[in-house]
Amino acid sequence: MIKEIPIAENIYWIGVNDRETALFESIWPLPRGVAYNSYLIMDEKVAIIDTVKAAFSLEYLKKIKGVLGENRKVDYLIINHIEPDHSGSLRAVLETYPDLIIIGNKKTADFLNSFYGITSQIKIIENDEILDLGHHKLRFFIAPMVHWPETMMSFEERGRILFSGDVFGGFGTLDEGIFDNEIENIDYYEDEVLRYFSNIVGRYSVMVQKALSSIADLNINIIASTHGPVWRDNPGHIISLYDRWSRQETEDGVVLVYASMYGNTEKMMEAIVRSLAGEGIKKVKVCNVSKDHMSFIIRDIWRYRAVIFGSPTYNTKLFPLMGDLIRFLGNETIKSRVSGLFGSYGWSGGAVKELREFVTTMKWELVEPVVESKGAATEDIINDCILLGKKVASKLKSA
Q: Is residue 33 part of a domain?
A: yes
Q: Residue 380: which CATH number?
A: 3.40.50.360
Q: Which amino acid is at 319?
A: F
Instruction: Annotate 260-269 with b (16+ C-beta within 10 A) or e (fewer).
Output: beeebbbbbb
Final residue of a structural domain among 228, 246, 264: 246
**Looking at the domain assignment, is residue 329 inside a domain?**
yes
Give a yes or no: residue 174 inside a domain. Answer: yes
Rg (CA), the chain: 24
Is residue 373 domain-shared with residue 350, that is, in the same domain? yes
- Cβ neighbours of residue 255 closer than 8 Å, sequence gap 6 or more: 285, 287, 297, 300, 301, 303, 304, 306, 307, 308
**Same structural domain, 161 and 30:** yes
Residue 4: its pLDDT value, please?
Answer: 86
- Judge if 213 and 276 occupy the same domain: no
> So what's the pLDDT on residue 1?
67
- Distance from C-alpha of 222 to C-alpha of 7, rounded to nearest angstrom: 9
For the chain, helix, strand, coil in percent to 5 are 35, 25, 35
Backbone angles phi, psi at 373, to 5 degrees: -115, 135
Neighbour tally for 282: CB within 10 Å: 9
Is there a single domain that holds both residue 292 and residue 191?
Answer: no
In the listed set 246, 280, 303, which residue is the last one of a domain according to the structure?
Answer: 246
Residue 147 preceded by cis peptide, ω within 30: yes
* pLDDT in single tens digits along all 399 residues of the chain: 678 899 999 999 999 999 999 999 999 999 999 999 999 999 999 999 999 999 999 999 999 999 999 999 999 999 999 999 999 999 999 999 999 999 999 999 999 999 999 999 999 999 999 999 999 999 999 999 999 999 999 999 999 999 999 999 999 999 989 999 999 999 999 999 999 999 999 999 999 999 999 999 999 999 999 999 999 999 999 999 999 999 999 999 999 999 999 999 999 999 999 999 999 999 999 999 999 999 999 999 999 999 999 999 999 999 999 999 999 999 998 999 999 999 999 999 999 999 999 999 999 999 999 999 999 999 999 999 999 999 999 999 998
Residue 101 lies in a domain: yes
259 plus 241 within the same structural domain? no
Task: Tell me: do 211 and 261 sit in the same domain.
Answer: no
> How many separate domains does the chain show?
2
Domain boundary among 246, 265, 282: 246
Per-residue CA distances from 367 to 16, 51, 357, 390 (Å)? 47, 49, 14, 10
Domain membership flag for residue 135 = yes
- In this structure, the answer to whether residues 169 and 270 fall within a common structural domain is no
Whether 399 is in a domain gets the answer no
One domain, residues 146 and 16: yes
Dist CA 229 CA 214 (whole Å): 22
- pTM for this one? 0.96
The kind and range of the H/E element at 238 are: helix 235-246
Whether residue 296 is contained in a domain is answered as yes
Range of the domain at 143: 5-246
Distance CA 108, CA 50 (A): 12
- Judgement on whether residues 241 and 258 belong to the same structural domain of the protein: no
Other CB atoms within a 10 A radius of the CB of residue 279 amount to 16
Same domain, 380 and 239: no
Q: Is 232 helix (H, G, I), strand (E, B) or coil?
A: coil
In this structure, are 198 and 275 located in the same domain? Answer: no
The CATH number assigned to the domain holding 32 equals 3.60.15.10
For residues 65 and 207, state if they share a domain.
yes
Secondary structure class of 341 (helix, strand, coil): strand
- Size of the chain, expressed as the number of residues it contains: 399
